[in-house]
Structure 1
Amino acid sequence: MLSPRSLAIIGMSAREGTAGHMVLRNFLANEFAGPIHLVGRTAGEIEGLPIVTDIAALPEGIDTAVLALPANGVAEALSACAAKKVGAAVVFASGFAELGEEARAEQARIGEQVRESGPAVVGPNCIGYSNYIDGFTVGFTNVAKIPRVAPDRRDAVAIVAQSGGLAGHLRLGLIARGVPVSYNISTGNEMDLCIADFVDHLLDDAATQVVLVYAETIRQPQAFLAAARRARQMGKPILMLQPGRSAQAQAATQSHTGAMAGDYAVMRAYVEREGVVLVETMDELLDTCELLARYPKPSAGGLGVVTFSGAYCAIAHDFCEDIGVALPPLSDATAEALKPQMPPNIEPHNPLDLGTQPIWQPELLGVGVKALLNDPAMGGVAISIAAGAPAKSMAWLEQVVEAGRGRDKPLALTFLGDTSPLAEPILQTARDNGIVLMRSSDRMLRAMGHMIARADTERLSDTSDEPFLDLPDLPDGALPEWRGKAYLAAAGISTPKGGLVQSVDEAIKLADRIGYPVVLKAQAGALAHKTEAGGVILNLRDAQAVRAAWETVLANVQRAQPGLVLDGVLVEAMVGKGVELVIGAKRDPEWGPVLLIGLGGVFVELFHDVCLLPADASKAEIVEAFGGLKAAKLLQGFRNAPPADLDAAAEIAHRIGQLMLQQPAISEIDVNPLMVHPRGQGATALDALIVTA
């Protein structure tokens, strides 16, 4: 498809300016050397090429057919192409899944048809693609001879996007920055070939260093993750923008390409684990892509900042804290080496303020940049300085060029001054030397933050987990709390002392044995909200309180759900205080099982302070994720409270993840709250829901 030896255009018209004409003119403008076959309603000749009126008249084995047809002619044409053993087809037509359920079903039917018998299809609802390695393009929006990437380039970006318009914008932006583009592929609705297919193929292209993806949904998650894993192993970054964090965005993507929007947070947890750099804005997409093309190797550490302004030091501190980018202090060795070279009365710190001295001593900028690049705590260096007179700016730029020569650590330069013009020799020098030159320090810091974060994707999950043995059988549906807790206890997760009873006398005997105070909880699979129904009474301190609470619990439940038959009442010992967390897991049908950790109890819905991780996350990853919660201070000890036992909480979360991996019948686990006791005292699952399918 991307490098065909023979072509066909199906749907040729004698009328100038139609899609078929534009496609043909592009083939001719780019000097396609192989045979080109034309199929139209009326026999004739265009550009010296004959038009036949039936696909059956084509020779067998044409590499690629371009369908310049309306939606209602696509299915028949693809069936005819299959009969002639056409290898691949491009479908421009809209009018499929983006229109709604009926059209989506028709697209799915045609997709199933081509997967069974061929050809491979890109589209529908796409605008084509361009191969800048071989100089080949399929497109109907304009006619042009496309540029080719120089044979020795190894820093090109391949663009794969479900939106052809956005793909064009991205290409223009990269070309303007001096970043070559190897391929620009619009995949549209993806009735057959998907983003994952193209990404996996493009990784083997020698010129391509970065694959840039715009996706409204990933239709083959496991294939995409496999491609991302291979990209990480090859050292070729994948950079992606996917809208859908909001309900409105999900609705917009569905109307655009028929994408059935998945769970954005689940997608994020999985793709970032495999090293995909996920950004949230188009500016970040272009800025980070340029940096990745120049500096593809991950670089561990924080961000070093160099400036001529003390004011910018404070601004950078605030901005980087807001976006989660660390500005580590200079090492003692770096600080000592810089001190004798610094202007009077300025101490070396990070951010490194060089004052006004570089106006007269441009080489001081090179000294500062080299020092921060050499500091092992820095994973990259951002320079933010005011644009001066052209001669001054050129002198500073030359220092940056020299300091960064041969370095793998990412380096970016911002000449402040908003849209004030820079002299063309300055721009050309930056392009010639691969310097990432920006005009917005905010955009530079965001892009550098993505570069710094890449080094954290190399962690490996635990691989030595033993299988769970002697677990109870799981019935279908939502298990009542008592059964869920019994299952978790068998998996080594701590639950309160207690058990299920059928009478008040049994409840009192059990309470006497486990010790007061106790809690009573009504139990039934159909009782989804025990607390709201009045089915939970806490802190019962003696037998008399248990007897009174028993009658109250039964009466409350019958009032809330008349006729409900209980499994019994759960009697449990009250446990010690701690921090309430939620540990959950769910099985996404496309991406796989994920863990949810966060602030629990009633606060989980109020603050939504949660984090998602792949179910195979290691205990170290889980502990790190706890540290990223807004409630992290509560876990570390707040207002004289002791630190929480995060190791115990991470162990429980890890076990829940392993249950999801080893027990495919489980679709959901929810432990809320998990009471995390002071460090060294463990954690206890106070409530549990397990759902099976």
Structure 2
Amino acid sequence: MSLSDAVDPDSIAVIGASATPGKLGNDAMANAKEFDGDVYPVNPSGEGTVYGYEFVDSVTDVDADLALCCVPAGATPDVLEDCGEAGVGAAVVFAGGFAEAGEDGEQLQARVRQTAEEYDITILGPNTAGHIVPHRNVFSSFVPGFDEIEQGDVAVVAQSGGVGVTATFQLDREGYGVAGMYGLGNRVNTDFHDVIPVLDDDPEVEAMALHVEGTEHHEAVVDAVRESETPVVALKSGNRMEEFVGAHTAAPFQDYEYYKEAITGAGGVVADSLTELLDASRVLASAPEPDGPNVGLVTAQAGPGIMLADYLDERGVEFPELTGESRERVDDILPGFTYDENPVDTGRPMPQFGEVVDAVARDDNVDIVLVYEIFEHSLGYPVEELETLAEDLDKPIVFTVAGPDEALTPDRERMEDVGVVTFDAPERAAYATSVLADWAR
């Protein structure tokens, strides 16, 4: 079995397609219609067209690589058998009511697994929100609005469809999009260790964000993380309330500490919240890999700067002394009432703030640069200096922005375009910086 027919299909069949708004088969068609290849709405009761595509009676009447199964759980095994007879290589099974639903559901899932094995069909699900690959216009999901998700460089692989959907919309809402979202659901024959190597080979994917509740193949998952050249960040949930976890995706109840030790030992990062998962993935995707863990902090406001310094110090991040040359540059720029050690505080935004950032960033003792500045209309952000630094240096720069979105967005976008990673809260920037420091150790 191969994921290629799911990730890069030539044609898609939507089985159970519907022309009735609000039905699962209509929502799936609303997303699938964005695909550049052939799309076949399959429903023997369908008449006319849906989104401009003519209904067909059976998947066996068409040549489809990928099938989206918009049918109840009980009908799924027979539908998959039809898919197998038609030569379909991959199928997304949206329905719930399988192993997570008790003994009858377990038997039904066993039939799905057996049919998939007999016909060599790769299954995403069952009990999944589907998957999307924006750079290939593959939107194999019933979630409204997924067809408008922009391309990014972080791929989300989630055991929970709800978590995958939430993560995808959060990244898109914050302006970053996704390189893909893969909802694994009950993982009947596709698990994390199957998806990680595929994403590692995808040049559009710069980092992976995993949401894990539990898996029978945990050792294979850890091996896949170890072998991946693309950074992998994981969030382990389902650490309490065993029955609730099992009723969700039929996940085995597994120990958080095991996952944390195993994944970090394999070179991955373990986050403790969804926002941390996405922030860590984003900074590892966008920033250059640091040569070391030492941080140079420049702030235009002491209060947020102290918050940043506290957060990083608690996590063992070092603030090295600046070289004599850097100190001289900073002293020449700053008035006497500011703090010119590392961290460097300018007191407030100033026209020379970019020069201060430049002095600290070029210091040989500094591996990672962290900046905080409130946006002021008369000054803007030191974008030109940051663009020059990004071109001259191979150091990560993390910039914390504050101010009205409509005013600072143009400068923020220019920073992101040259690899300066921006955040809108001190603790988020500090966490991302700590991830970079740990990555370099």
**TM-score of the two chains, using structure 1 as the length reference:** 0.57
Among 188, 209, 216, the alignment partner of 1:212 is 209
SS in 2 for 1:62: coil
Q: Displacement, 1:70?
A: 0.7
- Residues 39-92 of structure 1: per-residue CA shift (max 9 Å, x gap): 43x47543463432x66x435x63112211111111222233334432111100
- Residues 491-526 of structure 1: per-residue CA shift (max 9 Å, x gap): xxxxxxxxxxxxxxxxxxxxxxxxxxxxxxxxxxxx
State the match for 2:159 in structure 1: 162
Among 6, 13, 36, the alignment partner of 1:8 is 13
Separation in 1, partners of 2:98, 2:212: 18
State the match for 2:3 in structure 1: none
Q: Pick which of 419-428 and 432-441 moved more.
A: 419-428
Question: In the alignment, is the contact (CA less than 8 A) between 2:93 and 2:128 conserved in 1?
Answer: yes
Separation in 2, partners of 1:213, 1:223: 14
Question: In the alignment, is the contact (CA less than 8 A) between 2:307 and 2:426 conserved in 1?
Answer: no
Question: In the alignment, is the contact (CA less than 8 A) between 2:305 and 2:372 conserved in 1?
Answer: no
Equivalent AA in structure 1 for residue 435 of structure 2: H
- Residues 267-318 of structure 1: per-residue CA shift (max 9 Å, x gap): 1112112222221112222322332232152442222211134455544443
Separation in 2, partners of 1:262, 1:284: 21
Query: For residues 131-150 of structure 1, what are the structure 2 equivalents within 5 Å?
Result: 131-142=133-144, 146=148, 149=151
State the match for 1:111 in structure 2: 113
Given the alignment of the two structures, is residue 301 of structure 1 paired with residue 293 of structure 2, yes or no? yes
Among 39, 51, 55, the alignment partner of 2:56 is 51
Among 225, 241, 244, the alignment partner of 2:235 is 241
Given the alignment of the two structures, is residue 435 of structure 1 paired with residue 438 of structure 2, yes or no? no
Unaligned runs of 5+ in 2: 1-5
Separation in 1, partners of 2:176, 2:392: 18
Q: Displacement, 1:123?
A: 0.7
Query: For residues 437-586 of structure 1, what are the structure 2 equivalents within 5 Å?
Result: 437-456=422-441
Among 364, 369, 375, the alignment partner of 2:357 is 369
Question: In the alignment, is the contact (CA less than 8 A) between 1:301 and 1:376 conserved in 2?
Answer: no
Separation in 1, partners of 2:286, 2:24: 37
SS in 1 for 2:267: coil
Unaligned runs of 5+ in 1: 150-154, 457-693
Q: Displacement, 1:95?
A: 1.0
Give the length in aligned residue pairs: 434
- Residues 192-246 of structure 1: per-residue CA shift (max 9 Å, x gap): 11122222112211222122222222443333233323323xxx212222214x4
Among 25, 42, 45, the alignment partner of 1:20 is 25
Q: Could you say if the C-alpha distance between residues 38 and 416 of structure 1 is closer, same or farther in structure 2, counting changes exceeding 3 Å?
A: closer
SS in 2 for 1:89: strand
Question: In the alignment, is the contact (CA less than 8 A) between 1:307 and 1:353 conserved in 2?
Answer: yes
Separation in 1, partners of 2:31, 2:254: 37
The structure whose Rg is larger is: 1
Separation in 2, partners of 1:75, 1:444: 48
Q: Could you say if the C-alpha distance between residues 391 and 165 of structure 1 is closer, same or farther in structure 2, counting changes exceeding 3 Å?
A: farther
Equivalent AA in structure 2 for residue 443 of structure 1: R
Among 263, 272, 286, the alignment partner of 1:280 is 272
SS in 2 for 1:226: helix
Q: Could you say if the C-alpha distance between residues 299 and 251 of structure 1 is closer, same or farther in structure 2, counting changes exceeding 3 Å?
A: farther
Equivalent AA in structure 2 for residue 204 of structure 1: D
- Residues 343-395 of structure 1: per-residue CA shift (max 9 Å, x gap): 33656321112335x52xx22x23332333233443311112333x3122x15
Separation in 2, partners of 1:278, 1:143: 29
SS in 2 for 1:355: coil
Q: Could you say if the C-alpha distance between residues 9 and 400 of structure 1 is closer, same or farther in structure 2, counting changes exceeding 3 Å?
A: closer
Separation in 2, partners of 1:181, 1:407: 27
**Aligned residues: percent identity?**
26
Separation in 2, partners of 1:117, 1:72: 19
Separation in 2, partners of 1:66, 1:451: 39
Which structure is higher in RCO with an 8 Å CA cutoff and minimum separation 6?
2
Separation in 1, partners of 2:109, 2:364: 54
Separation in 1, partners of 2:36, 2:440: 43
Equivalent AA in structure 1 for residue 112 of structure 2: I
Question: In the alignment, is the contact (CA less than 8 A) between 2:386 and 2:415 conserved in 1?
Answer: no
Given the alignment of the two structures, is residue 224 of structure 1 paired with residue 216 of structure 2, yes or no? no
Separation in 2, partners of 1:109, 1:97: 11
Separation in 2, partners of 1:17, 1:201: 33
Separation in 2, partners of 1:423, 1:68: 44
SS in 1 for 2:163: helix
Equivalent AA in structure 1 for residue 267 of structure 2: G
Separation in 1, partners of 2:312, 2:31: 47
Question: In the alignment, is the contact (CA less than 8 A) between 2:157 and 2:210 conserved in 1?
Answer: yes
Query: For residues 373-452 of structure 1, what are the structure 2 equivalents within 5 Å?
Result: 373-387=361-375, 389-392=376-379, 394-416=380-402, 422-452=407-437
Q: Could you say if the C-alpha distance between residues 319 and 3 of structure 1 is closer, same or farther in structure 2, counting changes exceeding 3 Å?
A: closer
Q: Displacement, 1:182?
A: 2.3
Separation in 2, partners of 1:329, 1:253: 48
Equivalent AA in structure 2 for residue 319 of structure 1: Y
Equivalent AA in structure 1 for residue 219 of structure 2: Q
Question: In the alignment, is the contact (CA less than 8 A) between 1:26 and 1:144 conserved in 2?
Answer: yes
**TM-score of the two chains, using structure 2 as the length reference:** 0.86
SS in 2 for 1:208: coil
- Residues 602-627 of structure 1: per-residue CA shift (max 9 Å, x gap): xxxxxxxxxxxxxxxxxxxxxxxxxx
- Residues 567-594 of structure 1: per-residue CA shift (max 9 Å, x gap): xxxxxxxxxxxxxxxxxxxxxxxxxxxx
Q: Displacement, 1:164?
A: 2.7
SS in 1 for 2:193: helix
Question: In the alignment, is the contact (CA less than 8 A) between 1:91 and 1:126 conserved in 2?
Answer: yes
- Residues 533-592 of structure 1: per-residue CA shift (max 9 Å, x gap): xxxxxxxxxxxxxxxxxxxxxxxxxxxxxxxxxxxxxxxxxxxxxxxxxxxxxxxxxxxx
Equivalent AA in structure 1 for residue 49 of structure 2: I
Among 34, 37, 54, the alignment partner of 1:33 is 37
Q: Could you say if the C-alpha distance between residues 406 and 74 of structure 1 is closer, same or farther in structure 2, counting changes exceeding 3 Å?
A: farther
